[in-house]
Chains A and B, each alone.
Chain A
Amino acid sequence: MPADAAPFLAPGIAWALVVLFSVLWIALGIVWGRRGKGDADDYMLAGRNIGLALSTATLMASWVTGNTTLLAPEFGYRTGLWGMFSYALAGLGLILFAPLAVRIKQLMPHGRTSGDFIRLRYGRLAWWVFMVITAVYTLGFLMTQAMGAGLLLQALSGFDYHVGMVVVIGVATVYTLFGGMRAVIGTDFIQSLLIMVLLAVVAVLAFRQFPMPEVHARLISAHPDRLDLLLPAGLLIAWNSALFSMGEVFHNNIWWSRVFASRRSVVMTSFVLGGLAWMSVPLVTGSIGLVALARDLPLEQVNMVFPVMAADLLGAGGAALVFVVVFASLTSTLDSLLASTADLLAEDVYFRLLRPQASDAQLKQAARQMVVGLSVLTLALSWPRLDSLASVLFFTGALVASTVWPVACGLYWSSANRWAAIVAMAAGSAVGLSAYVLIAPYCAAVFSAAVSAVVMVVGSRWQPEGFDFNRLQEGV
């Protein structure tokens, strides 16, 4: 949609919704932040004892990004059923991480970050390679969410790009700063319920207006390829989506911090339930894309298919529902990214690298300063409007997929060699990026993970390390 096109929602209503939910998130964040002992562990990991409901909801809400609500319908519109399925397969990352999460909790009951694990398991050089990969990925992820906030709020309600971006980042920063991980996890619970309930309402109302048999009949006659289960591009995208999501989840501190924050008895179940619950979101939003295709709805910009459909079928009420879903999706992802990345920097860089003698209070203060610093950095990097947000994120798929095997092997296999891990991450990233440029963006993660696996297995077989897993527990 061009910047000067009419918004779906009147700016007055949009501002009222923004103020209502911003006040709610900030107030709840501050109240929840006052619970607990108030030490660094409490601030960074919510007291390490959260139950199944909050653990599942925070995984689900953090994984529902602005992309899930807008890119999945675009996938459905462009690629049909396989577009929906391939996006939904990203939930596999959470499900496959479940057994690893249990292992992490068992090996590192007092651990704080994914960086802790890499440093203790493979040494400082591997840690540097890992930190570069996670920094590039996290900054790319933060930027896509920030730019997405500016663009979406502009398209939905006519907000200025910069105003929308500042509002969303500002709200997420304030409650994360004051409430820490408790605020993030508590608001995630409400945000996940809000997202799922409103999406279900939009989908049910949309299919009441345009019944499924009619959608199917129109697709069969005009776009049969969208219903083809053997669509070659769809199969390739599905593989890439699954491997990309594994790379994202296996390496990123968002998910490791949830492991450390959760009660040991709920870790496995929460990752499986969170992944399964998440999978239904892109399937439902993707199906809205199919309705738009069946109706031959004129679209100036395909990634706006979800709000266009909601506004077209349900009027101003539909636009308001989409606005709330998008606002909740963006804040729930941004707060998780800010909190867990701040924890990673405070623990791994400030405490372990720069000031090992820092007190608990200083560590907590460092984590708070990192939240503010990351927000300012994200705003600065996202201030100039860039096009093609998806390509920024796809680019990082080549990097993160290279960490899957070093992480998995390092957790279970005592022979996993530190040099093999370093070369696996470097070579996997290099080959994945080459595939991204020379073949196609959706091949990047597949090549990266394949090369990384071969290097990891061959290198560790050739020179087994014989790692003592007790060192993970002793080192933190």
Chain B
Amino acid sequence: MANALLLTVLVDQHWFGLVLVGSQVALVCSVLALLVIWWFEWRNGRVW
């Protein structure tokens, strides 16, 4: 039991929130980045 507790690192609320919010922000940023890149390439005729 003592060994099991020694080998346990629980994520606290701060880091838990950071992981979850960070992943959602990354998802939204990916969408925006794709749209911006597509827009620039479309203006320059470089999509295909």
Contact = CB atoms under 8 A, between A and B. Distances in A.
Interface of A: 35-36, 46-47, 49-54, 56-57, 60, 81, 182, 189, 192-193, 196-197, 199-200, 203-204, 207, 212-213, 215-217, 220, 224, 227-230, 263, 273, 276-277, 279-281, 283-284, 287
Contact of A220 (B10, B37, B41): B10
Contact of B27 (A220, A263, A280): A280
Contact of B10 (A217, A227, A281): A227
Contacts of A182: 48
B30 A216 contact: no
B2 interface: no
Given A53-B41, A54-B47, A196 B27 contact: yes
A279 B26 contact: yes
Contacts of B30: 60, 196, 273, 276-277, 280
25 contacts: A53-B37, A54-B47, A54-B48, A56-B34, A81-B16, A182-B48, A189-B34, A193-B31, A193-B35, A196-B28, A212-B17, A215-B16, A216-B13, A227-B16, A230-B8, A273-B30, A276-B26, A277-B30, A277-B34, A279-B26, A280-B27, A283-B19, A284-B23, A284-B27, A287-B20
Nearest to A269: B37
A199 B27 contact: yes
Given A35-B48, A207-B20, 15 more contacts: A49-B48, A51-B37, A53-B47, A54-B48, A81-B11, A81-B16, A182-B48, A193-B35, A197-B31, A200-B27, A212-B20, A213-B13, A224-B8, A280-B23, A284-B27
B11 to A, nearest CB: 5
A188 B35 CA distance: 14
Contact of B24 (A35, A46, A203): A203
A200 to B, nearest CB: 5
Interface residue SS majority, chain B: helix
B21 to A, nearest CB: 8
Nearest to A207: B20
A81 B19 CA distance: 9
B16 A212 contact: yes
Contacts of B8: 224, 228, 230
A253 B28 CA distance: 29
B9 interface: yes
Nearest to B16: A216
B45 to A, nearest CB: 10
Contacts of B23: 280, 283-284, 287
A228 B4 CA distance: 11
Do most interface residues of chain A lie in helix, strand or loop, or is the interface mixed?
A: helix
A235 B44 CA distance: 46
A182 B47 CA distance: 11
A273 B16 contact: no
Contacts of B17: 212-213, 216
A230 B28 CA distance: 29
Contacts of A224: 8, 10
Most B CB within 10 A of own CB, among A52, A199, A213, A224: A52
**Interface pairs A-B: 5 shortest CB-CB:** A283-B23, A53-B38, A277-B30, A280-B26, A280-B27
B5 to A, nearest CB: 11
Nearest to A199: B27
B27 A53 contact: no
Contacts of A212: 13, 16-17, 20-21
A292 to B, nearest CB: 14
Contacts of B37: 51-53, 56
A229 B11 contact: yes
A229 B27 contact: no
A52 B13 CA distance: 38
A182 B21 CA distance: 35
Contacts of B48: 35-36, 46-47, 49-51, 54, 182
Contacts of A52: 37, 41
A47 B8 CA distance: 53
A228 B21 CA distance: 19
A197 B24 CA distance: 10
Contacts of B9: 228-230
A279 B14 CA distance: 21
B1 interface: no
Given A50-B48, A81-B19, A212-B17, A200 B11 contact: no
A341 B19 CA distance: 37
B16 A200 contact: no
B34 to A, nearest CB: 6
Contacts of A196: 27-28, 30-31
Contacts of B31: 193, 196-197, 200
A271 to B, nearest CB: 14
